[in-house]
Structure 1
Amino acid sequence: MRIVQVGLGGFGRNWAEEMIPQVAEVEVVATADVAEASRQAAIDAGIADPKTCYATTEQAIEDSDADAVLVTASLVGHVPAVRAALEAGKHVMVEKPFAPTVAEARELVDLAESAGLVLAVSQNYRFFPAVRAVQQLVRSGDLGDLHAVELDFRRFSGSDGRRGPHHFLDEPLLVDMSIHHFDLFRAVLGQNPTQITCKTWDPEWSLFSGPSEGVALIDFEAGVTASYRGSWVSHGTPTAWAGQWRMDFTDASVEWTSRGDGKDGWTSDEVWIRRGDSLRQVELPTMPLTDRAGSLTEFVQAIKDGREPENSGRDNLSSLALTYAAVESAANGRTVKVGA
């Protein structure tokens, strides 16, 4: 499948160097970025061809015989790039967050569906063995009814005194990081959220421009309430990127974690079932590709199969709505209804 990659900043170059090469079914035939410095950095790194590296999405699409577009640009570039690709008749996968607003995301979903095109969002935390195992446990009903979920995320970003791009974001926790966890709630529970109460803050000594810590209570369709705690500035034992989970069922609890550090982050995936004093580790499924390579593979396979991908734009509307409802709740101090 011939693709155009739009977005060659640091994260886009990581996509090009580490993720795209894992997916044998795709070939990058053109690249694009509005920033000349990013284009040059990609060319210097040998991951972009100067002959097919363009300043605009439109030009890259026009000059290439591509089947699809992969948008790895920053959030401000998502909607323009996705719209340009869809209007050119190309399938699209875009990085999270999907769009700056739910209304803009919904518009793109409708545009894709009217044109018969696949639109996907790279919610890559779904594509790990522990997540698949927990999804199966929930669906099987073997542990009884699920009635409570807890998730803790802890990291200390900037402990070395240096600031990265996410330190300057308005919402470094909720929109840049918690969106992964909010999407995982939906993926493993198989339910959509109905309302959220959220509070965020930032210690005066942190290197962040926006709130780096937060807590939330999230209600879901079937009556399950999830409690969430996230921190970018915790001295506590760091969690894996997907966080540290406990899910309480009628007959047992499930404790699990996913997405560790490094290229082989799946090796730290673990799922345990606790019944009284008994603790049993769950055997995890084998996944040929995980992380962003897994989300790209799902996108490509869905196009080949003529079906909606698991990580479709339509499905992602609820994850996006939950994220922005969390921001609203934290800003006004009230419980906010979630509707995609």
Structure 2
Amino acid sequence: MTPAFATIPGTAPLRLVVVGAGVMGRHWMRIVSETPAAQLVGVVDLDTEAAAQAAAASGADVISGASLTAVAAETGADAVIDVTAPQAHRAVNVEALRAGLPVLCEKPIAPTVAETMALVAAAELTGQLLMTSQSRRYYPALARLKGMAATLGDIGIVTTEFFKAPHFGGFRDEMDDPLLVDMAIHAFDVARYLLGAEATSVDCRSFNPSWSWYRGDAAASADFAFDGGARYVYTGSWCSPGLETSWNGTWRISGENGTAAWDGEGEPVSDPAVVPADGPVTARSEIAGALDEFVRALRTGGIPSGEVHSNIHTIAMVEGAVRSARTGHRVALDGVLENAYTAALADERDADLRGVLASWGSAGDAVARLR
């Protein structure tokens, strides 16, 4: 099924409300202010003082408050950017969608696949666009790497190596699986983008080095099988000082006709050298590129890469990797989706959303629908 959503005709800047006035929320506000096709009109946070301060700091005529519905109505908002904590995404997204507002949500769109399925149901029920910002898809160099990969014939293996040593403090230091859940999700999503396919299973092992400053496992290696036979292998650590990789990691794509590689910062290279076929290239990187695609989708009806129906497969890769690491066994991702669908049906208390979930008929039908 191709998901459909309401578009917003016209050429005036989209009027946006940002929910979440923390550091990342303020970063999003700056990006909105730099985007001619968008206008910041509201800031929402349960901490009304933080919301007011962020609104004042924006330098624009921005209304703030604790209620998304109230601020959106007062400002005449066209759409919402959800920059709250992942545990709040479901409530914020559903409130916005039910108010007739499309949403661009920070990753992960929900903490679990089951909650993501509930959000898919909310998007279908309301007919509004729900998109997540998988911001690391948006690099011109990455688009060129994908173009190079298209010249390599059948792909055998894609690898990512990621080694950084950031001292964040805060919630990441206390997470059960900080690397897999908060960082590797980006690489897993990029692998889907590069291969144009979905993962079918994963064998993952995670651990925490003796010197790690994280409570949960900060290092992992994951081996994914993909539709079509390609393998994707991710190896990374968030407590690896010295000779660090870029934040995008280093990538290698090996195919029957050659190899392409990217260091995550400069230009990709290939052997034999090729000029990549024309492909989708975003002018702006990271969250600015995500915002541009969100606006473009709402104007044209084109399906953005982070649309919730597609993004559920990225969430399933993360959940499958965590499950594999904890059980010590390869995990089939169809099983992850089926278990999540069963849980979503059992846990949903909203009759309308439960009705949409039930209309899919079975986990198999749900997976086919989401693709």
TM-score (norm 2): 0.81
* Candidates 18, 43, 46, aligned match of 1:31: 43
Structure 2 gap segments, 5+ residues each: 1-13, 338-371
1:282 shift after superposition: 6.7
* Cα offset, 1:47, TM superposition: 5.9
Alignment deviations for residues 226-273 of structure 1 (CA, whole Å, 9 cap, x no partner): 111011111241111111011111121111133xxxxxxxxx332111
Q: Which of 182, 188, 191 lines up with 1:185 in the alignment?
A: 191
Q: Which amino acid aligns with 1:196?
A: V
2:331 to 324, 328, 336: 336
**Alignment pair present for 1:325 and 2:320:** yes
Counterpart of 2:159, as a letter, is E
Task: Report if the CA contact (8 A) 1:93-1:120 is conserved.
Answer: yes
Return the alpha-carbon distance in structure 2 between the equivalents of residues 12 and 240 of structure 1. 24
8 Å Cα contact 2:52/2:64 also seen in 1: no
Q: Answer 1 or 2: which has greater helix percent.
A: 2
Q: Give the % identical residues.
A: 32
Where do 5+ consecutive residues of structure 1 fail to align? 259-267
Q: How does 1:55-66 map to 2 (within 5 A)?
A: 55-66=66-77
1:271 aligns with 2:282: no
Partner secondary structure for residue 253 of structure 1? strand
1:75 aligns to 2:86 (yes or no):
yes
Asked whether the 8 Å contact 2:45–2:65 carries over to 1, the reply is yes
Contact 1:129 1:284 in 2 (8 A): no
2:364 is aligned to: none
Q: Deviations for 1:169-217, whole angstroms, at most 9, x for unmatched residues?
A: 2321011000000000100100100000111111233211211111111
TM-score (norm 1): 0.88
Residues paired across the two proteins, number: 321
What is aligned with 2:298?
Answer: 303
CA spacing shift, 1:104–1:48, aligned 2, 3 Å: farther
Q: Which amino acid aligns with 1:4?
A: V
What is the CA RMSD across the aligned residues, in angstroms?
2.1
User: Is 1:6 matched with 2:12?
Assistant: no
Matching of residue 53 in structure 1 with residue 59 in structure 2: no
Instruction: Give matches, 1:236-251, under 5 Å.
Output: 236-251=242-257
Match for residue 16 of structure 1?
29
Whether the aligned pair in 1 keeps the contact of 2:254 and 2:260 (CA below 8 Å) is yes
Q: Distance in 1 between matches of 2:207 and 2:53?
A: 36
Match of 2:88, SS? helix
SS at structure 2 position matched to 1:230: strand
Matches within 5 A, 1:42-121: 42-43=54-55, 45-46=57-58, 52-121=63-132
TM-fit CA distance, 1:128: 0.5
Question: In structure 2, how many angstroms separate the alpha carbons of the residues matched to 1:96 and 1:257?
Answer: 23
